[in-house]
Amino acid sequence: MITRLILLFSLLMTPAVAAARGGVVSASDPRAAAAGRAMLRSGGSAADAAMAMMLALTVVEPQSSGIGGGGFLVHHDGKTGTVATIDGRETAPAAARPDRFLGANGKPMPFLQAVVGGRSVGVPGNIRLAARAHQRWGKLPWKRLFDPAIRLAERGFTVTPRLAGSLRMVSANWADFPETRAIYWKNGAAKPVGATVRNPALAATLRRIASGGPDAFYAGPIAKAIVTAVTQAPRNPTPLTLADLAGYRAKDRDAVCSAYRGYRLCGMGPPSSGATTIFQMLGMLERFDLKGMGPNDPRSWHLIAEAMQLAYADRDKFLGDSDFVAVPVAGLLDRAYLAERSKLIAIDRTLPRYDAGTPPGAPARTAAISGEVAGTTNFTAADGAGNVVTMTSTVEGPFGSQIVAAGMVLNNELTDFTFAPERNGAPVANRVEPGKRPLSSMAPTILYAPDGKPLLAVGSAGGKQIIMHVFRALVGVIDFGLPAAQAIALPNIYFGGGAVLVEKDTPLAAMAPELTRLGHIVTVAALTSKLTAVQRTPAGWQGAADPRSEGVALAE
């Protein structure tokens, strides 16, 4: 009965796609996508479109991303054929120490106690990232990128079901946050679906940055507002200085690339764990005939589940900010190492446990768990000159730290650090240190076809599940031969609590008995995702957005 149900499900879930001989954009909110398309229609590049979407999302998707947070960007240059990445991840302030998230008893504090207020706020990176991307690949004036976001903040925008859901989830705890309530509450309660939100303070902030460039964010009144909001936060007030902001730099980093079935894939290196973990899973599965089995065979999902848990074990042990700790990226992606890891996987049974391996060049280290939670956003763009961008942007959890400064939501990214700095007497790679960037699962990825040309740019929201969302989309395109819109609609899979988690109300959930017979403990769960993608087709670029989201793709 399950035969062809996965493909039928992905067809039914598939949103309308946008196709063009010119450019195309995709974002998780239609108003952000419209901002990106406006840049393309004005002669802007894919980078211009992406930065306009990031700024617009600051306004209309404040629960997920914005200039009060950070992100990672992957760029393909249509003229040179080169791929580049920019790291705009937040940094810990100079006063941060490894014991930042330990309680008075010396034990890690509860996550919800740590996340709200000043303690969790990292120095935002998105504006420096935007400036660097514009410097390298922008065509339009810097100020032009801000126009759609400023209009949305000044004139107002309508609350969507997703924003309303986030408000219901967290705003009951805003008694100590009057600035946040002033924007998103009305008549003593969170604004409902259809209500209008205006944010003149954010409009003023955006105007100041548009006129003064990135330095207007990292110095002057905006920087002072951020410092005051963090150091005088009603909960967890914590040291942050003007020097912390003034010293922030977005970093050009080498892309991490790997091969799979004749395709080439490139993504972000540390402090992102996205590319390494995805490419490890692909490397472990390459010896299996996923194409022959297809998405309707429970064995395909069994193999995915096995590779997933092995790759995440390596992630938790070895990944961190490579400016502070040795990260064996080459060893983790070494073909011989992945072949040994793959030998652990059997097609007819599960492993009894999923331990980290010992990749070449691995330092002595103990595994630990980071506190990354579901949130974030992704947007993608391609222009008529063949330039392609995928960027993942975040303030972390719903409304980040819950603090608003100068109209913007401030992130809670520092809770992505592992709270315990040591485990079993050994240092944890992802422990807090001054100036360090916390480990992330954000995974903006570009897929190159065997002809060497970019075929797909993709990324997602979802905390640590981001890796799996992007991974299954890539498998959907490469192994299952699906167009991007159907690949991103495939069912979600993850793990937790000793079980494999499968998305409820999908054909994958119907496979639970077969997966159980293979040895898995299976839990049907409400897994959601928020993928965006652009794909090169014979008809031109096509864009797609996850049908689980409010996103859309728009052609130039």
Q: Enumerate the active-site residues.
A: 376
User: Residue 201: CB partners within 8 Å, gap ≥ 6?
Assistant: 183, 406, 407
Q: What gap in Å lies between CA 320 and CA 273, rounded to an integer?
A: 8
Beta bridge partners of 186: 189
**In this structure, what token pair is assigned to residue 108?**
């890690």
| Dist CA 462 CA 460 (whole Å) | 7
What token pair was written down for 512? 């639970």
Which residues on adjacent β-strands are paired with residue 76?
83, 388
HSE-up (13 A, CA, CB side) for residue 419: 18
Q: Which of 393, 503, 379 is nearest to 440 (CA)?
A: 393
Look-up of token digits 């290196």: 269
Rounded-to-5 percentages of helix, strand, coil across the chain: 35, 20, 45
CA distance 373 to 543: 27
Q: What is the bridge-based pairing of β-strands 499-503 and 522-525?
A: parallel
209: closest CA among 395, 408, 45, 437?
Answer: 408
Q: Within a 13 Å sphere around the CA of 214, how many CA atoms are in the beta-carbon half?
A: 22
CB 401 within 8 A of CB 116: yes
- Strand pairing class (83-88; 251-253): antiparallel
Strand arrangement, sheet containing 522-525 = 493-496, 499-503, 522-525
- CA pair distance 122, 70, nearest whole angstrom: 9
Q: Is the peptide bond before 271 cis (omega within 30 degrees of 0)?
A: yes
Residue closest to 369 by CA, chosen among 321, 313, 324:
313
Place of tokens 């992630």: 315
Strand order, beta sheet including 263-267: 18-20, 540-545, 532-537, 454-459, 445-448, 263-267, 256-260
Label residues 421-456 b or e (16+ Cβ within 10 Å = b): beeeeebbbbbbbebbbbbbbbbbbbbbeeeeebbb
Both tokens of 441, joined, read 């699962």
- DSSP 8-class letter at 110: P
Q: Which DSSP category does 370 fall into?
A: -
- Distance of alpha carbon 82 from alpha carbon 75, whole angstroms: 8
